Chains A and B, each alone.
Chain A
Amino acid sequence: MNNTALQGSPGAALRPKSGRWKRMVRNRYIYLMILPGLLYFILFKYIPMFGLIISFQDYQPYKGIMGSDWVGLEHFRRLFTDSEFWVIFKNTLVVFVVNIVFYFPVPIILAVMLNEVANSYFKRIVQTIVYVPHFLSWVIIVSISFVMLTMDGGIINELLAYFGFEPINFLMSSAWFRPIYVLQVIWREAGWGTIVYLAAMAAIDPGLYEAARMDGAGRFQQIWHITLPGIRTVVIVLLILKIGSVLDTSFEHIYLLLNSMNKNVAEILDTFVYTAGLKQGQFSFSTAVGLFKSVIGLILVMFSNWLAKKFGEEGIY
C-alpha cells in the first residue's frame, strides 16, 4: 500500500477513499493480474473451508454435509481428552522447533560460504550438487537412509561393527528419530534454501565491501557487518514463511519414518489425521484435529510477525 500512496496524485491525500478508487481504476490492468492468484485462493483455499463444518458434525458421507447430525464440540472434547493427544501435540511442536533451530540457519551459513567462494566454476559446481537432493522425493531419501541404517547389513552398522562398536538400531529407536529426521531435512533442502539468500547477497552494494576493506576489515568482519545485515530482511521474511509452512510440509516425510517403535516421538498431528481420517474413515474427527492444527499454525505466524515488527522489521503483513 505504501508504494501506491507515493504514486498517488496530490488530491489523494485530501480525499483518500475516492482517490484510492481512482488509482485502482487507473491501474486496473495491474490489478487484473492478481485475478488468477485470487481465484486460486478462493477456489482451493476458501471454498474448501466450508468443509470445516463437518468437524462439528457426525459426518456420514451418504447423508452429506446438510444431512449429518450436529454434535457440537464433541470431537474436540474427544481430542483433548484422548490419552495420546498431548504426546502428539508435544511431538508436533518439537518437530517444529527442531526445524527452526537446527535446519533454518543451515542454508544461511551455506549461502555465506558459497558467497565467499572466489572461483566461479567451483561455486557453480557446488551449487548444482547441493540443489540436486531437493528434486528427489522423500520416498527415495527415506529409502536410501533405510538401506544405509538397517541392522541387517546396512553400511553404517557394518562400519560400527568394523570399528568394534555395538550396532545401533537407528530405524526403530525413539532417541534417533529426531536426529535422523533433521539430518534428512538438511540434506534435502539446505542447498535449495540458499537460492534466495544468494540473490539477496548479490543485491548488496559492492561499494560497501570496498569501503570496509579500505578500513581494514577482514573477511569475517565483512560477513558480520555487511553480508548478514544486508540479508537481514530476507531472513526475517523467510523465517516467518517457514514458521507458517513447517506444520504442513512435514507430513509425507514423517509418515515414511513412522513405525510402531518410534511412534511415541514420531506421531504428529498430521500423521494422526491421516491414519484416523483417511485410513479409518473418521472424517469428522480428523477434520477437527486438522482445524486445531491450523489454529496453532495461525497463532505461530501471527506471533512471529508481531515479534518481527517489535524488532523493527517489516514482517509479512
Chain B
Amino acid sequence: MGNNVNRMKWVSAFCSLTVATAVFAGCGKNSDESAGDSGKTGGDSGPVKITVMADLQTTEVPSDKIEKLLEEKTNAQFDIQWVPDGSYDEKFQAAFATGSLPQVVYLKNSASFVLLRDAIKNGQFWEIGPYLKDYPNLKNLNPQILKNTEVGGKIYTLYQERQPARSGLIYRKDWADKLGIPAPKTVDDLYNMLKKFKEADLAGGGKTIPLADRNDLVYGSFKTLSMYFGTPNNWGIQDGKLVPDFMTKGYMDTMKFMKKLRDEGLINQDFPVTSKTDQQNLMYTGRSGAYIGTMGDVKTMQEKTEKNVPGAVFDVTNEIAGVNGKPVTWGLSGYGTLIVFPKSSIKTEAELKKILGVMDQFYAADVANLLKYGVEGEHYTMKDGKVLPVSDSKLIEKEVRPYLNMALADTTNVKPSYYTMPVAEKANTLSNNAEKFMITDPTASLDSKTYNEKGARLQEQIKDATYQFIMGKIDEAGFQAAVKKWQNDGGQKIIDEFNESYKSSGGK
C-alpha cells in the first residue's frame, strides 16, 4: 500500500507539473506580446518597430536579406508576418475579429477592401488623409487613385501602384504561323484560331485543348472576353443609370460564347474547377495554345514551355476589338492592393506618424528599387540604364519575389526594366498602351451599405449561376431567375444605393 501511495504521489506531481507548464506557457506568450507592444510605443530614439502582415505569393518565406537592408534604409525594425496567398482573407478576418491585426496590414486585393468599408466607417482604422501632406513622398501620391480608395470621402489607406490594364491574350505564335493565322483582331478571329488549333491538333493524339482557363471569372478568361462583347467593368451605365455587368446583354453573350467554346471542346472541360497551377501546366506541357490573363506571365510561360516543347514561341496581344470596332480591355482602379492601419494596434497619433514616416520611404526610389528588384550586383545588374535581373531565377524567387508584394511603388520612382525577351517587353508596352482604351469600374469611389454588407455573398450566387449556364445546367430563363433572386435578396437595394451615390457625386 505504501508503495502504491508513493507511486501515486509521483503521478500527481507529474500531473500538476504538466498543468503548470501549460499555464506558464500561456503566460509566457502573453508577457512576450505585451513586451513587444510596449517596445513599439516606447522611446523616441532608435529604430521604429513595425509589425506587418503581408501576402506571400511564393511557396516559401523569403530569407531576411532584403528585410535587413530595408530596416537599415528606413531606420525601422520590421516584424513581418507572411501569410500564404490562398488563405489570406480568412487569416485576415480571423485576426480582425480577435483584434490581433498588426500595425501595417496589406489587404489581399480590392475585393477585400469592399468587405472592410463598414468597419472603416465605424472608426476601426486610422484616417490618414490629413497627414499625407507632411511627408515628402506621400504628398505626391496620385489624387485620382486616392479618390478611388476613399470611404465616405476620407482617405484611410495607402495604395500599391500597379499597371491598371495588364490583361490580354497569350498564344502559341509557332502554332499560329504554321496554320497561317495572323494575330486575332476580333473575338471571331480568336474563335477561329481556337477552332483551327483544335482541328490541326498540334499537341498530337487528340489531346489539344486550344484555350486553357481556370476557376476564376475575373482574372481568368471570362472578364477579359466579356469586354469584347460590350460588357461593362463590374458596373455600367445604361440609360443614365448604373446597372451590374450581369444584367447587361454583353454578359449573356459572353456566357453563350464560353458555352460554345466548352461544347465544341475548345476549352478545358473542367475549367470551373481547374487551379491556376493546372491551367499553366496545360500551357507548359504544350497541350494548350492560348491563355487569357496577365500578359506579363508570357515570360515565365516562354521559359518553362520551351524546356518541354522545343520550338514553342509565344506572342501576346490585347488589341482585340469590342462591339464598337475599337480595342477594349478592363482596368483596375489604379491600385493593386491597399494597406490599412488598425487602431487596435496603433494606439496613438504619434505612433501612427512614425509609421507613416517609414511607409513614406516605400515610395522613394531607394526602397522602391530594393523591394522590386533586390540588390544591385546580386539580384540584378544595370544595362543601358535599365534593370537586368540575374539569370538565377531561383535566387530571385527565394530572396526578392515575395517583397514585390510589399512594394508600394511600381511605376513611379523605380528604375525601368531591361527585357531580354522581346515578347515580355511587348507585353509591358501593350499594358501601358491599354490605359488609353481600358474601361474602369464606375463604382470604385461610390458607396452602398448593402453592397458592403452582403455584396460578396450575393455575388457568389451570380458566379454559381454563370458557371451553371456555361456548363448547360441552367438556361437563359434559369439565369434570369438567379438574377431575380439576387435582386430580391438585396441586389435591388445595392442598385438603388449605388445610383443614389452616383447621383450625389455628380453622375461622373
On whether the two chains bind one another, the answer is yes
Stretch in B6-14, B38-46, B378-386, B442-450 with 4+ CB within 8 Å of A: B6-14
Query: Is A32 an interface residue, CB under 8 A from the partner?
Result: yes
Chain A to chain B contacts (Cβ below 8 Å), 23 pairs: A28-B12, A29-B5, A29-B11, A35-B15, A36-B19, A61-B97, A61-B99, A61-B124, A64-B99, A152-B209, A152-B270, A171-B273, A172-B471, A260-B272, A260-B466, A261-B273, A263-B464, A276-B457, A277-B93, A279-B89, A280-B457, A281-B93, A281-B115
Q: Are A261 and B12 touching (Cβ within 8 A)?
A: no
Q: Are A260 and B464 touching (Cβ within 8 A)?
A: yes
Q: Which of A249-282 contact B (CB under 8 A)?
A: 259-261, 263, 275-282
Query: Is A3 an interface residue, CB under 8 A from the partner?
Result: no
Task: Name B100's closest neighbour in chain A (CB-CB).
Answer: A61
Q: Are A33 and B11 touching (Cβ within 8 A)?
A: yes
The binding surface of chain B is classed by DSSP as: helix
Q: Given contacts A146-B273, A260-B463, list 20 more A-B pairs with CB under 8 A.
A: A29-B5, A29-B8, A32-B16, A33-B15, A61-B97, A62-B124, A150-B270, A152-B268, A152-B282, A153-B207, A167-B269, A172-B270, A172-B471, A261-B468, A261-B473, A263-B464, A277-B93, A278-B93, A278-B94, A280-B115
Contacts of B485 in A (CB 8 A): 83
Contacts of A83 in B (CB 8 A): 485, 489
Query: Is B98 an interface residue, CB under 8 A from the partner?
Result: yes
Per-residue interface assignment for chain A, residues 131 to 156, with 1 indicating a CB less than 8 Å from any chain B CB and 0 otherwise:
00000000000000010001111000
Which residues from chain B sit less than 8 Å from chain A, CB to CB? Answer: 5, 8-9, 11-12, 15-16, 18-19, 22, 89-90, 93-94, 96-99, 115, 119, 122-124, 207, 209, 215, 268-270, 272-274, 282, 343-344, 454, 456-457, 460, 463-464, 466-468, 471, 473, 485, 489
Contacts of B272 in A (CB 8 A): 172, 259-261
In the complex the two chains form, what is the Cα distance from A275 to B459 in whole Å? 13
User: In the complex, which range does the number of interface residues on chain A fall in?
Assistant: 35 or more
Q: A29-B11, A261-B272 are in contact. Are A60 and B473 (CB under 8 A)?
A: no
Q: Nearest Cβ distance between residue B81 and chain A, in whole angstroms?
A: 18
Contacts of A128 in B (CB 8 A): none
Contacts of B93 in A (CB 8 A): 277-281
In the complex the two chains form, what is the Cα distance from A78 to B115 in whole Å? 20
Q: Are A62 and B343 touching (Cβ within 8 A)?
A: yes
Q: Which of B97, B99, B454, B467 contacts A283 (CB 8 A)?
A: B97
Q: Which of B5, B99, B269, B467 contacts A260 (CB 8 A)?
A: B467
Contacts of B16 in A (CB 8 A): 32, 35
Task: Name B91's closest neighbour in chain A (CB-CB).
Answer: A278
Q: Are B207 and A259 touching (Cβ within 8 A)?
A: no
Q: Nearest Cβ distance between residue B454 and chain A, in whole angstroms?
A: 8
Q: Which of A35, A278, A282 contacts B19 (CB 8 A)?
A: A35
Task: Name A274's closest neighbour in chain B (CB-CB).
Answer: B90
Q: Nearest Cβ distance between residue B442 and chain A, in whole angstroms?
A: 24
List of 5 A-B pairs having minimum Cβ-Cβ separation, nearest first: A29-B8, A151-B269, A260-B467, A260-B464, A62-B124
Contacts of B97 in A (CB 8 A): 61, 281, 283
Q: Nearest Cβ distance between residue A96 and chain B, in whole angstroms?
A: 24
Task: Name A154's closest neighbour in chain B (CB-CB).
Answer: B270
Q: Nearest Cβ distance between residue A53 and chain B, in whole angstroms?
A: 14
